[in-house]
């Protein structure tokens, strides 16, 4: 894939926190329509990498480019092409769901976001929640609203951090189907982190495993499992978690 | 949020709208714009009446205190609306959501300050109406000289708000008390109700470098019926610009530290 088509390109990312080397030279690129899982045990550097990709944490070394815009100088322009949701983020209090979505749609540049909000709510089957206050929702419903928020402006890159962690299996299935549809229809690239390896195998065409702040595997789920001599991604995850634990000791 | 791309008026208005929802649905926020202004107007108006009777200063004593508290509310409302506007995003853990949108730091501050102007009008309007209704003191009688004084106090209020935001970015939510603490420190040092010569000698040099001190000194002269003291006003204006530049540099530096050290993890 040529660099002109790549939605996300991160090169040689390094991040140190005092004496800890959190990310030690990560290279990552994601192409349009590609669904990529960023995986690894706790402490592997996933969250720090995600935060650097989003421009929230500044790398000590390396470059992040999104839709042709380099961070941090062109962060605002780059973020216009990115949607982000995290399973752990609550909705702001004192806002109804429709108000929350409308405000964020405007922050993403939609001057008249009404139709986009209704369409996005319908896409994930939660139109009935539009008038609810954020603090009246269950954790699963809040997660769904967060994902709707991330897709309102039809981003070129969708970054989701543990998106289905608090969802029931049937709702998680709907979310995966909705995400796959968005990626197929709009050629949206998806970068997702999850500790649910079965979910990742179902949703992602490619997985990138981090361990000790480095990329240790990059390929299709089957290729990565075979590379480590395991049956599936869960086996790879457990193997890397054990390695990470030994390193910590 | 970044400060480098072109400003979007839509995003500024959206931030202001978001904070209008907060005021609309958070009854405790009305304390700042209604309750304290009413309490302050009654307290300082009554003190003025008492002192004017006992010292024989007449209505001027009441006017000094009421003009002082009304103008102090300009600084207070500007500062508190900016600082609590930012704090609201940390309380509702919305900071990360905002930081991954195209919203720039300037647009965020502009949006919060824009809605802060509406709160300021409500707060200062409340003090002024109570002062008129209960003590027959009409702040508008002071004349158009008030306009540059209010502009200077507004700039200083926003600057203090930026400093508070910078400290919260650096040390976390434990610093929130400074939103009320810093302004409480500024009030006595600025000689809101008295000339700085009334302060202990040790504090007078500190008071002299505050732009608010010169703004309130100018206001007292005008309330006393004298011409606007341009020298005091010029000192206040220069001081407020320097304060604003330093505050902007400070919050920018603190934001860089925030991004560099990954302090977003404190707010997720």
Distance between alpha carbon A54 and the CA centroid of its chain, in Å?
Answer: 10
> Which DSSP symbol is given to B227?
P
* Residue B2 within a domain: no
Q: How many CB atoms lie within 10 A of CB B6?
A: 8
- CA gap B185, A20 in Å, rounded: 40
Share of chain A above pLDDT 70, in %: 97
At A32, give phi and psi (nearest 5°): -55, 140
Which structural domain range is residue B53 located in?
9-267
Contact status of A21 with chain B (Cβ, < 8 Å): no
- Kindly give, in sequence order, each residue whose CB lies less than 8 Å from that of residue B185, ignoring residues fewer than 6 positions away: none
Kind and range of the H or E element at B253?
A: helix B230-260
Count of domains forming chain B: 1
Domain contains B89: yes
User: Residue B190: what pLDDT?
Assistant: 94
Please give the angle made by the CA atoms of A220, A226 and A227, to the nearest 5 degrees: 90
CB A126, CB A91: distance < 8 Å: no
Among A39-48, A158-167, A228-237, B221-230, the minimum mean pLDDT is found in A158-167
pLDDT of residue B27: 86
Q: How many angstroms separate the CA atoms of B231 and B246, rounded?
A: 22
Residue contact B268–A84, C-beta within 8 A: no
Task: Tell me what pLDDT residue A169 has.
Answer: 85
B250 found inside a domain: yes
Structure token digits, residue B3: 């400060």
In percent, the amount of chain A with pLDDT more than 90 equals 69
Q: What integer pLDDT is reported at residue A176 of this predicted model?
A: 85
Confidence of residue A1 (pLDDT cuts 50, 70, 90): very low
Residue of A42, A56, A59, A62 to mutate for B, most B C-beta atoms under 10 A: A56
The whole-number pLDDT of residue A71 equals 95
- How would residue A249 be classed by pLDDT, with cut points 50, 70 and 90? low
Choose the CATH number for A8-248 among 3.40.50.300, 1.10.1040.10, 3.30.365.10, 3.20.20.80: 3.40.50.300
How far is the C-alpha of B213 from the C-alpha of B219, rounded, in Å? 10
Interface residue B28 vs chain A (CB under 8 A)? no
In a domain, B178, yes or no: yes
Would you call the peptide bond into B177 cis, given omega within 30 degrees of 0 as the criterion?
no
* pLDDT given at position A248: 67
Whether residue B26 lies within 8 A of chain A, CB to CB, comes out as yes
| Res A3: pLDDT | 44
Residue-wise pLDDT for A86-133, tens only, equals 988 888 878 999 999 999 999 999 999 999 999 999 988 899 999 999
Cα separation of A221 and A217, whole Å? 10
**What confidence score (pLDDT) does residue A165 get?**
77
Q: Region A14-43: what's the mean pLDDT?
A: 93
Q: What is d(CA A146, CA A101) in angstroms, rounded to the nearest whole number?
A: 9
SS (H, E, C) A101-115: HHHHHHHCCCCCCHH
Compute the distance between CA of residue A178 and CA of residue A172 in angstroms, rounded to an integer. Answer: 10
Q: Is A95 on the interface with B (CB under 8 A)?
A: yes
Q: Which residue of B has its CA nearest to A80?
A: B102
pLDDT for A162 equals: 87
* Residue B198 confidence (pLDDT): 93
Q: Three-class SS of residue A126? A: coil
B207-250: per-residue pLDDT in tens? Answer: 999 999 999 999 999 998 899 999 999 999 999 999 999 999 99
What would the two tokens of residue B78 be?
Answer: 């500007």
> Which residue ranges of chain B lie beneath pLDDT 50?
2-5
Cα–Cα distance measured from residue B240 to residue B105, given in angstroms and rounded to the nearest whole number: 21
Instruction: Say yes or no for a CB contact (<8 Å) between B2 and A55.
Output: yes
């Amino acid at each position: 894939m040529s660099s002109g088509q790549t939605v996300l390109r991160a090169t040689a990312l390094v991040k140190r926190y005092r004496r800890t080397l959190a990310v030690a030279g990560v290279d990552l690129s994601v192409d349009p329509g590609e669904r990529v899982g960023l995986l690894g045990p706790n402490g592997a550097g996933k969250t720090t990498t995600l935060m650097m990709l989003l421009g929230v944490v500044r790398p000590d070394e390396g470059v992040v480019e999104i839709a042709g815009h380099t961070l941090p100088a062109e962060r605002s322009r780059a973020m216009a092409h990115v949607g982000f949701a995290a399973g752990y983020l609550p909705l702001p209090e004192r806002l109804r769901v429709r108000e929350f979505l409308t405000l964020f749609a405007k922050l993403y540049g939609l001057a008249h976001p009404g139709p986009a909000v209704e369409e996005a709510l319908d896409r994930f089957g939660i139109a009935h929640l539009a008038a609810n206050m954020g603090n009246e929702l269950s954790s699963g419903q809040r997660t769904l609203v967060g994902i709707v928020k991330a897709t309102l402006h039809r981003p070129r890159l969708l970054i989701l951090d543990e998106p289905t962690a608090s969802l029931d299996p049937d709702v998680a299935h709907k979310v995966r189907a909705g995400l796959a549809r968005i990626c197929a229809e709009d050629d949206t690239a998806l970068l997702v982190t999850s500790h649910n390896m079965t979910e990742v195998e179902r949703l992602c065409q490619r997985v990138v495993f981090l361990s000790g702040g480095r990329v240790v595997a990059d390929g299709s789920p089957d290729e990565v499992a075979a590379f480590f001599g395991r049956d599936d991604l869960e086996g790879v995850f457990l193997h890397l978690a054990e390695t990470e634990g030994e390193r910590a000791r | 949020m970044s400060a480098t791309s072109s400003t979007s008026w839509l995003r500024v208005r959206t931030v202001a709208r978001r904070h209008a929802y907060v005021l609309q649905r958070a009854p405790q926020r009305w304390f700042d714009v209604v309750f304290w202004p009413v309490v302050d107007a009654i307290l300082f108006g009554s003190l003025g009446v008492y002192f004017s009777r006992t010292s024989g200063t007449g209505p001027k004593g009441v006017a000094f205190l009421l003009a002082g508290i009304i103008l102090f509310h300009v600084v207070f409302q500007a500062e508190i609306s900016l600082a609590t506007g930012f704090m609201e995003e940390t309380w509702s853990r919305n900071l990360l959501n905002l930081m991954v949108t195209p919203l720039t730091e300037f647009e965020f501050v502009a949006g919060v300050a824009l809605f802060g102007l509406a709160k300021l009008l409500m707060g200062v309007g409340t003090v002024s109406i109570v002062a008129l209704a209960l003590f027959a003191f009409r702040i508008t009688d002071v004349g158009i000289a008030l306009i540059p004084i209010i502009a200077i106090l507004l700039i200083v209020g926003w600057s203090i708000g930026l400093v508070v935001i910078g400290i919260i970015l650096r040390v976390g939510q434990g610093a929130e008390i400074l939103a009320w603490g810093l302004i409480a420190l500024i009030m006595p040092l600025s000689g809101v109700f008295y000339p700085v010569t009334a302060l202990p000698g040790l504090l007078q040099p500190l008071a002299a470098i505050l732009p608010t001190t010169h703004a309130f000194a100018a206001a007292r002269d005008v309330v006393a019926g004298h011409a606007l003291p341009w020298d005091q006003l010029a000192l206040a204006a220069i001081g407020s610009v320097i304060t604003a530049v330093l505050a902007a540099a400070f919050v920018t530096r603190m934001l860089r530290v925030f991004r560099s050290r990954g302090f977003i993890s404190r707010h997720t």
